[in-house]
Each structure stands twice: as structure tokens, then as C-alpha cells.
Chain A
């Protein structure tokens, strides 16, 4: 049945609408001009109406989060809902698959992208994605330490690299190209790491700089909807903002009319000055200036939230450091020829100077970078739970709330960061950009992040009037953002008054670029290389018919 959202106050920056009273119509899962007959009407008088939220970076599926669950039963004692009608949902910051879908919907989000899957484990990732209700999803396979990629980068053979990227995306039903600590994970296989963009990767004679630029070149020539998506080298280390700035500058050599050419993810973790934990500080200001200046780069926050978190990343050498630093349990998985992964539980403590600097750095980025170049994220579950996005948005919108929260943090942030001196407040329009418009553009999902005709029928209605709210009444803002009056997914009401009322199943996006290149180029390399796998080529990857609800996107 068609749906009419009546008299809401629409904020839709992509279509130039910033707070107009109007009606939104949805039919057959899409936004339409108007529906005259047989229409269910929702009264949204005086309420904020926006597109469904998009999370472009959250580890919501795959062997990493699932190993995390198995390793941390203590996370699962938090009961979110019982099995009455829908599924039971448990989890504190690590959530079960049903809980992930429900929690996203409960804050008005309708799309999320898993940003790192080892291709060898991709069937597992898709199985989990298929178990997450409500939201649309996609996954990005990991390329940055793949032997084949490093070889082609060393040979500067972009044609072969293109062919390889196309082959991998088809085999994995992946959506884009992810790099994690390029070169560093390979070095970890013998206990090392790389520390600058020009360190040679042991055994390959290639540098992180070459891997990154080669992959950007391949992605741009294939014209994938999403750009290269990078987790920089030196994550977590004091002084790493320099490596991050250098990495960002690599994008200068490329151009794309529709989108960025490099998305640098969870930048907070890569934005520290200083030479040790004793003099760590925030490099957010410098990075923000650079990002605002370079047209072709976008970032996301990676905001840590005080409290429990579980760090999980393909950056194995960093995870081993963290295991020693935090004296916490440690899971590691070295994955043959491709990549690796590590998991360490962590607690961000407000009373800890370093954790407070991290917290302030993330917020600085959120306040200083243009709203159309930064997306809100916690790098779930690395920085904390994704359902703290309303909390982050409120912090960005209300100086008063920031001052309250800053009182809880360690006073060292006054010396080490510029957060206390920033008076700016984000508007609702900015927040809509950072949670809808920007992520949709970064991901190249044209039907998402706006409410124009033909867009996906994903809508959220919040109990706040964008034309008339008081930023110092932060409790009201937080309450409104946390409890949407309605979340609508593909025209179905899934959340009403902050609670899940029904379950739909979203789609899995994947990108097919096989017509832009040919596998013949790499046929012989693949044959040779499968001698070293423990899985046969015929059994590698995932077929479209195994997925519940795949959506193939043709690039270009």
C-alpha cells in the first residue's frame, strides 16, 4: 500500500529543501510525486522528515565481529528485546545480527556498509548480512595486503590490477575496494609493520604509497561507484597525523566529477600529534584544513564513545600492540595470501588523558570539516556502539551539551586539543548531510540520502522542528534523535515511537565491472596463485543465487 507522510517539515539538502512543509509519497518502495488513491496517511505535522540514515563504515558482519561475539559472552548479557513476535535481540556494544538491524532502524537508519571482509571468508560475511533484518547493506573486500595486488603494484601494471579488482568484486559480490594498513599486515606475518608510506614491504619491494596509488588508479579507471576506502598506516600511534596527511595528498593526482577519489576512514584514530603517549595531542585542525582544501577526499569521524568497545580490524600489528598495551585478551587470524585480522576488547575511560584526547579529536573533526566531506561514524564496534550516533549528533549541535560532557573528560584535553575553544554548532541540515547526503555520495548510492522522486522509500520522522528548536535544550534533541516517531524502509513502517513494529528484509548491493576489463589478462596468474591457496578456484567466492536479496550495480 502507498504511504503519505503529511505536513512534515522536510530537510533534504541534496534537493535544496531546507525545512519546507510538504508531503512525501511512497509507492512500491520508491518516493513518488503524488499518490491520489489508496494511501495510508501518517500525520507528521511540525515534525522533521528526512531520508533514512546511512552508515558507511560499521563492522556489522563477518568473521571478525563473530569471533568477537564468541570471545566476549560478557557483551551479550544486555537484553534488548525478547522473542515476542520478532526475534530476541541481545548485546551491549557487540550485537547479534537481529539486534543490529533493529538498533539501526530504531535510530532512523536504513543502510549500513560492512567495510572490511577477507575475500576468502566472504561467504560468511554474506550469510551474516543476510541475517540482519530491515537495512540495506554491502561489503567491501580487503585489497591492501593481497599478494596479487602488491605484485601488480610493484610492476605498475594497472591493466592487470583492474582485471583483478573486477574479478574479486564479482567473486565476492563486493561493493568496493578497501585498504587496511597497506603493506603492514604482510610485514606482520613475520612480526613487523610498515611505518611510513615509503617503507618497503618485505618480500615484495613495493611501498604503501605505490599500493595506494595503484589501487586508486584501478578504481578510477573502472569508475566504481565507491572510491578507494582506506584505513591509513600507523593507526593509533602518537604522531600519526603526518602519515595521514601524506596519504590524503595522494588523492591530488586523480580526479572524478561525481565523487571523491579517496575516502579516508575513522580519521580520529589517525589524527594524533606528539611523539609518545605522554605528549599526545590532536592533529585534527591540520587535517581538517587539508581535507577542506582538497576537493577529491572525504573522511568519516571514527568517534570513540566513553565506555566499552571491542576493537577489530585487519590491522594485525596494531592489534598486537593494543593487546600488550591494554593487557587484554587477543584474537588474531592470519589469512593466507590476502590479509589478516585481530580483535581486542577495550574501554574508553573519561578519566584517562589519552582516551579523552581521542574523544575530543573526533569531535574536532566533526566540527571543523565541511559537512559535505565528513560522515558520522564510530567505526563500530572499534570506537563504540553505532547507536550512539544520536549522542554524537547532539554533541555537534549543542555547545552546551559539549561543555557538560567535557567536564567529565580529563582536563588534559584543554592543553592537547582545541575542542574547548570551538563554539560552532552544527545545524540540523549539517547533521542530515553528515548522516545521509555525504555517505550516499561517498558510496555512490544515487537513490539514497535524499527524498527526490525515484529515491528509495526510506524515511525517518523525528519529533523535532528544524525551524524552531533550542540548541541549549540538548536533552530534547537527544531524545528526539534517539526515538524516531517513524522509520520507514522501502515504504513499510518498521519503527513507530522508537520501537520496532515489523520486519522487512533489505538488499545486498554489489558491483559488477566485468565488462570494463577481461579476466584473460590475469588468467595465468590466477592459475599459478591458486596452487598456494588451500581452496580450489572453483570453490572460491560466492554465487549470486546464494544471496537472499542481491542487487547488482553496473559501474560507469
Chain B
């Protein structure tokens, strides 16, 4: 298979060659994804192997009888399945939430306040002469990002590494920092203050900036601001270093304001470094089906959005949910302890190709086909560009779409609507 799309990180590299065993053009993360791993053998209900139909019947029984089921995950499956997930949550009067809520949700909150002046990754490749990585480490988290899109990419106007000024801002010298023209080491939690300082300098209020902000001297900050303003086209990539430290959504908001200021002098865009290959789809599909990206409650028969009540973690800690359907995710490994404790108390249904920590606490486990290898569908790359992932291996496993389709049909029949 040529030009296959890698279904691991938000890069969604679409130049993979794969013969069923060995892949070309894969980074170490992609290689792990494409290599053979332990699979869940078949549908299991309370430790007993059953057929797909029976497992789905039992799952539907739990969901329909629950007062407010939680549907969580979705970032590692295709849009077609996500759409059914949103509709299922609506019909059940449950909660729809997805992996963003423990990841880049602060970016959504910042967007609600200020918007996002963004662009596609190709803009970094073709035009950018200044590239900033703020609180992100693509060399380890998105390994092919620098060569395909940002640092070394050969575009039609910016023809390679030597034409780019690469800046890395982080709390420690990360692997990405070694690629940088300039590295600024900042104190943890001081991003907001540094954005404010840069805005002040660019707006001509340099005198308002103290001698040192967040571990960076005023002189250094002036240098930094100069580089930014003198770029013809700049791209600022940011990661969880910004969204998951002090300030979170307010820091991102201040970064957006910095970019708004920069656009009054030159051209700048920002781009969050999204994790899973279709976490953007898990937001987008929910937005067009229900109006919001995450933390959506349907208990009143229509969608409501309230991040501090309807995100999966909050709903679990408040003991608001009495059943959970987990799709293509592993909350038991990543959620806070109290949220996981609640998961162990309620019936949990899991749909996933691989066994993981959540499998251990799940009452019903329904294995699914591997998206991008055994199942096709649409995914959105980190910049929202839609790509169609391919199926190039036959399988006995049902796809997420097929499983959810049957579930939804049965729920609609049982609910009589």
C-alpha cells in the first residue's frame, strides 16, 4: 500500500508505504502503531466470550437503563463513528466527551474568548521564515513534524532550514531545542507574563517591562520581540506546556492576543500541536451535530455545554454518570484517581482494538478493527485538513462504525423513536 496515512499522532503523515509487515517513512511512533501487537480476541461480557451481536445487546441494555451514561474517547477513531457516537449520546440523554477535555480543551476556551488566527501546516512549509515552538517538543511527540512541515521542510518560497529562524521556548532544554536557532529557557508557569511582556515591547511600551520576566532578561525579550516583528511570515506552534500549566486557557488567550498584535505589523499564525490523529475530528463532528466541541450533556433532550460539569473527569468525580461507554481511549490509565474509582463502580463498556488498563475494569469489552489498517474513514489532521484513512488488511473484527451503528439502531428501537 502506497500513500497510506499513519494513524498515530496529529501529523497524520500521508506518505507511508506498508506491505503488511514493514513500513517505510514511518517514525518510531508510527512504526510501533503499525507493528503487530496483542489484540483483544473477541467480545467479552463479564469475562465470558460471546458474539458481537450478544455483546452489543448487553451493552445496549446497560445504556438504555442508565439514567445518564457517559460516552467518552473518540480521538482515535474515524468521523463516521464519532458522528454515530454523538447521535447515540443524544438519543440516550447522556454525556458526550472526548480526549480534548484532558488535553487541548484550554485552546477551545481561548478560542471562545479571542478566536484563533491559524493556518495550515503547508503555510509553515511554504512561507514561514520564523517558526516558534512554545511548550512543545515535536522531535519526541510529533517526530516528522520538523522535516515534513516546519523546520527543515522545503517550500516554494522558504526553501529550507537556512531560511528559517527557529525559536524554542521551554522550561528545559528539550530535544527540539537542539534544532533551534534560539532557545529561551523560561521559569515554569510564567508563560502568561512573558506573552504580556512581548506584547508590551511590540506595542512600544518597553519601559513597562521589568528587568526580568519568567527567567528571561528584558534585553533577551527585546531580542525575541525583534525577531518576531522582523519575520515576514511566522508560525507559532504550542503544546501542552502551555495548556497544562498555570494559566492554561488564559495563557493561550494571551498568546492569541500576541498574535493579533503581531498581525498589525506583519503576518503570524498559531497552531496547537494536537496529539491523537483524529482528536480534531472528535471536536469538529460534535460541533456540527450538536453545536459544541466537548463536554456536551443531552439529559434535557438537547445539547448543553459546560466544561466544569460535563467533562468526563468532572462527571465521574461528581458521580453524575451511572454507566460509561469508552471508545478508542484509555481513561483508566490517564484520569485522576477519583475519576477512575467511579469508573470501577459503574458498568463500563469498552470498544478498542487493543487491551489496555480500561479493559481491566470494563464489564463488556468489544474489540474493533484498527483504524487506518483494517478500517477506513475520514480523519482530521492537527490543522483540520481532512484525510481518508485506508483499509488494506482484511479482518474478522467489526469496525467502530459497524459496532456503533448496530448499537444506535437497537437504542432507537428500544426507545421507540
The verdict on A66 contacting B284 (CB below 8 Å), with A121-B386, A534-B125 known, is yes
B123 near A334 with CB under 8 A, answer yes
Q: Contact at A66–B287, with CB atoms within 8 Å?
A: yes
Residue of B whose beta carbon sits closest to that of A85:
B417
Smallest CB–CB gap between A154 and chain B, Å?
A: 16
Q: Is B250 an interface residue, CB under 8 A from the partner? A: no
Q: Judging by beta carbons under 8 Å apart, are A331 and B123 in contact?
A: no
A70 touches B293 (CB 8 A): yes
Q: Which of B385-403 contact A (CB under 8 A)?
A: 385-388
| Chain B residues with CB below 8 A from A66, complex form | 284, 287-288
For A546, the chain B residues whose CB sits under 8 A away are 378, 388
| Tally of A interface residues using CB under 8 Å | 64
Is there an interface contact between B120 and A128, defined as CB atoms closer than 8 Å?
A: no
Determine if B182 is an interface residue (Cβ-Cβ < 8 Å): no
Report Cα–Cα, A63/B123, bound state, in Å. Answer: 17
Selected A-B contacts with CB under 8 Å, 21 pairs: A66-B284, A66-B287, A69-B287, A71-B116, A83-B302, A87-B90, A96-B288, A122-B386, A123-B387, A124-B386, A191-B263, A191-B267, A323-B260, A335-B122, A336-B119, A336-B126, A531-B154, A532-B156, A533-B122, A534-B148, A536-B15
B34 at the A interface (CB under 8 A): no
Binary contact readout B112-149 vs A (1 if CB under 8 angstroms, 0 otherwise): 11111111111101110000000000000000000011
Residues in A with CB closer than 8 Å to B115 are: 71, 323, 329-332, 343-344
Question: Taking beta carbons and an 8 Å cutoff, which residues of B are in contact with A?
Answer: 2-3, 5, 14-15, 79, 83, 87, 90-91, 108, 111-123, 125-127, 148-149, 154-156, 232-233, 260, 263-264, 266-267, 269, 283-285, 287-293, 298, 300-303, 305, 378, 380, 384-388, 417
A214: chain B residues at CB < 8 Å are: none
The contact of A332 among B118, B283, B387, by CB within 8 Å, is B118
Residue A320 CB within 8 A of the other chain: yes
Q: Is A73 an interface residue (CB 8 A)?
A: yes
Q: In the complex, what's the smallest C-beta–C-beta distance from A86 to chain B, in angstroms?
A: 8
Do B303 and A97 touch across chains, with their CB atoms under 8 A apart?
A: no
Chain B nearest CB: distance from A471 CB in Å? 38
Question: How many Å lie between the Cα of A542 and that of B15 in the bound state?
Answer: 18
Q: Select one of B114, B233, B283, B289 contacting A70, CB under 8 A.
A: B283
- For B149, the closest partner residue in chain A by CB is A534
SS class, residues of chain B in contact with chain A? mixed
Q: Please give the distance in Å from B413's CB to the nearest CB on chain A.
A: 13
Q: How far is the CA of A329 from the CA of B90 in the complex (A)?
A: 30
Contact residues in B for A343 (Cβ distance below 8 Å): 115
Are the C-beta atoms of B302 and A534 separated by less than 8 Å?
Answer: no
Q: Is A88 an interface residue (CB 8 A)?
A: yes
Expressed in whole angstroms, the Cα–Cα distance for A190 and B16 within the complex equals 33
- The 10 lowest CB-CB distance pairs between A and B, nearest first, are A336-B122, A334-B119, A82-B301, A76-B291, A123-B386, A329-B115, A332-B117, A88-B302, A331-B115, A534-B122
Task: From known contacts A82-B300, A84-B301, infer whether A330 and B283 are also in contact, taking CB-CB under 8 Å.
Answer: no
The answer to whether A539 and B90 touch (CB under 8 A), given A96-B289, A131-B83, is no
CB <8 Å contact, A88 and B301? yes
Q: Which residue of A lies closest to B265 (CB)?
A: A191
Are B111 and A191 closer than 8 Å at their CB atoms?
A: no
The residue on A at minimum CB distance from B123 is A334
B283 to A88, Cβ gap below 8 A?
no
CB-CB nearest in chain A for B15 = A536
Which A residues touch B305, using CB under 8 A? 73, 76
Q: Chain A residues near B300 (CB, 8 Å)?
A: 82
CB distance from A198 to the nearest CB of B (A): 24
Q: A534-B148, A546-B388 are in contact. Are A83 and B91 (CB under 8 A)?
A: yes
B264 CB contacts on chain A under 8 angstroms: 324
Give A88 to B289 CA distance when docked, in angstroms. Answer: 9
How many angstroms from the CA of A122 to the CA of B233 in the assembled complex? Answer: 26
Residues of A within 8 A of B155 (CB): 532
CB of A419 within 8 Å of the partner chain: no
Rounded to whole angstroms, the CA-CA distance of A87 and B91 in the bound complex is 8
Set of chain B residues within 8 Å of A120, measured between Cβ atoms: 120, 385
A96, B291: Cβ atoms closer than 8 Å = yes
A409 near B: Cβ within 8 Å? no
Knowing A82-B301, A334-B269, A538-B3, say if A127 contacts B117 (CB, 8 Å).
no
- Cβ contact within 8 Å between B111 and A532: no
Residue contact B267 to A331, C-beta cutoff 8 Å: no
- Which residue of A90, A330, A333, A542 is within 8 Å of B303 (Cβ)? A90
Minimum Cβ distance to chain B for residue A226 (Å):
24
Bound-complex Cα distance A344 to B112 (A): 12
Q: B residues within 8 A CB of A337?
A: 122, 126
Collect the chain B residues with CB atoms within 8 Å of residue A96's CB. Answer: 288-291, 303
Which of chain B's residues has its CB closest to A61's CB?
Answer: B288
Contact string against B for A residues 35-66, beta-carbon threshold 8 Å, 1 for contact and 0 otherwise: 00000000000000000000000000101011
Nearest-neighbour CB distance to chain B for A128, whole angstroms, equals: 5
Bound CA span A120–B126, Å: 15
Would B120 and A534 count as touching, CB distance under 8 A?
yes
Chain B, residue nearest A345 (CB): B115
Nearest residue (CB) in B for A532 is B156
Q: A131 and B288 in contact (CB under 8 A), knowing A343-B115, A532-B156, A536-B3? A: yes
Contact (Cβ within 8 A) B120 A97: no
Residues of A within 8 A of B283 (CB): 70
Q: Is the CB of A127 within 8 A of B2?
A: no
Complex Cα–Cα for A81 and B301 (A): 9
